[in-house]
Structure 1
């Protein structure tokens, strides 16, 4: 691939990884036109997006770890670890069972459409609940399961599934739900990326264009940083409806392209 394609893929990954619109659907479509990429390549550009969110929340993360003696910090940290633990254990179980991700657009397109409709319904339900900022144990457990569901059904969107699990099950404040979802996503995605990358190297991944991969990594990190910063400001005064509508339109477009034979 040319370095222009690396830039384009980095931009797509950076924008879509943490917005509730599914990075998988966008990257799979891009792959149809820009050429197939190795698993190692996917992992590395995803790591760029994870690093961006880590930089955004580094003060919060350091504060939680260094302030663990404070009851509120300790409680929040334990809930983060619980959500991550559920995802890690169930993720290994799913791997052992031999679950394979789809390689065609159609199931991902349906997940985008159904997920968009579900988001509209879920937000209308969440809006009727009392304003609650606190993260409950029920929310922590639900977010852990939501990450697994999103991983098993690409197109669902990990960020979308976890944010709305929090909104529906006790945290009606969008900013609080989004922060918890993103903080849980940091160790989850680092662990998943590390596991997959080690497997790639173990299986002999050594023919990569490391320059192109490095370009995509940096572009993904910068783009994700901007996208997440924008999202955190946007949700303070806006609903997620625009993302839901985008998912439905994009999913319908993918179904049309698949039906016409333009994409597989």
Structure 2
């Protein structure tokens, strides 16, 4: 298989899985087991491509949040899932996004300083898929038991979402979107749409910052010229387009469905990997 075709396939996998609660990093690690390993910059850059799709979808919401943060009055903001925010709420919401990102940034830098590296075998990913599926089912059930439709994001939720992003980065297979969405649900936000929106929006600065960090590290170490930029660029574009379609679909899906189907998928995939992979994989 040519390097370019492999990059396209990885871009498609990333675009589909980045925002569905099934773990994009886990799927990329599994795919690279057969398609060949890629650099950390490649994996993070195509994740940033998927994030770019969210910027396009939420562009009006992001603009309204910026106006609210700067203290300018703007009409009530409606995100693609239909949740309204007044001017005062927009400022509070923007500050909570910044807090969540700050927690992630501090935690992520600490993990880097400790020298944590992603595992190169698939078995840890398989276990994370299974454990994450159970976590999703429990969180959904607890949110349903509370009743009502609470869309507010608390300061505590913002901190927990930031921590969840760090955990998802350390344990591939956990899924950043799943970890953040279901932490929000467990913390008191019973609306799937509200929890999903916050998880998506806080992922924007998180993934762009991660990409920038890797670029600076490569430039410092003289590794920029060693990257296959053509393959990376193609995968970036493919990931962006695929993610745009996937996010649009997911926002419609969660209006009338739970995340149960994704939990079942994770259980089946995780169990299959544990049964079929050799002990050293």
Tell me, yes or no, whether TM beats 0.5.
yes
Counterpart Cα distance in 1 of 2:3 and 2:206: 31
What does residue 120 of structure 2 align with?
A: 103
2:278 alignment counterpart: 259
Q: CA-to-partner distance for each residue in 1:206-250, whole Å, 9 max, x for gaps?
A: 123222221111100000010011001100100000000000111
How many residues align structurally?
262
Residues 170-225 of structure 1, C-alpha deviations (whole Å, 9 max, x = no match): 11000011001111111111111110122122222212322222111110000001
- Structure 2 residue runs of 5 or longer lacking an equivalent are 72-86
Equivalent position of 1:192 in the other structure: 210
**Hey, what's the Cα distance between the residues in 2 that align with 1:200 and 1:52?**
25
Matches of 1:122 and 1:20, distance apart in 2: 13
Q: Please name the residue that 1:115 is paired with.
A: 132
Q: Does 1:155 align with 2:173?
A: yes
Q: Report how far residue 67 of structure 1 moved.
A: 2.6
- Superposition RMSD on alpha carbons, in Å? 1.3
> Does the Cα contact within 8 Å between 2:41 and 2:211 map onto a contact in 1?
no
- 1:102-153 Cα shifts (integer Å, max 9, x gaps): 1111111101001101111110111111321111112111111111111111
Alignment match of 1:178 (pick from 182, 189, 196): 196
CA contact (8 A) 1:84 1:187 kept: yes
Contact kept, 8 Å, 1:43 with 1:197, in 2: the verdict is: no
Moved more, 235-244 or 123-132: 123-132
Shift, 1:40, TM fit:
2.3
Structure 1 gap segments, 5+ residues each: none
SS at match of 1:163: helix
Equivalent position to 2:107, from 76, 82, 90: 90
Q: Hey, what's the Cα distance between the residues in 2 that align with 1:43 and 1:118? A: 25
Structure 2 residue aligned with 1:250: 269
Q: TM-score normalised to the size of structure 1?
A: 0.95
Give the 3 Å change call, closer, same or farther, for CA 260–150 of structure 1 in structure 2: closer
Corresponding position of 1:10: 11
Normalised by the length of structure 2, the TM-score is 0.90
Partner of 1:38: 39
What is the CA–CA distance in structure 2 between the aligned matches of 1:250 and 1:128, rounded to whole Å?
Answer: 28
- Give 1:222's aligned residue: 241
| CA positional deviation for 1:260 | 6.9
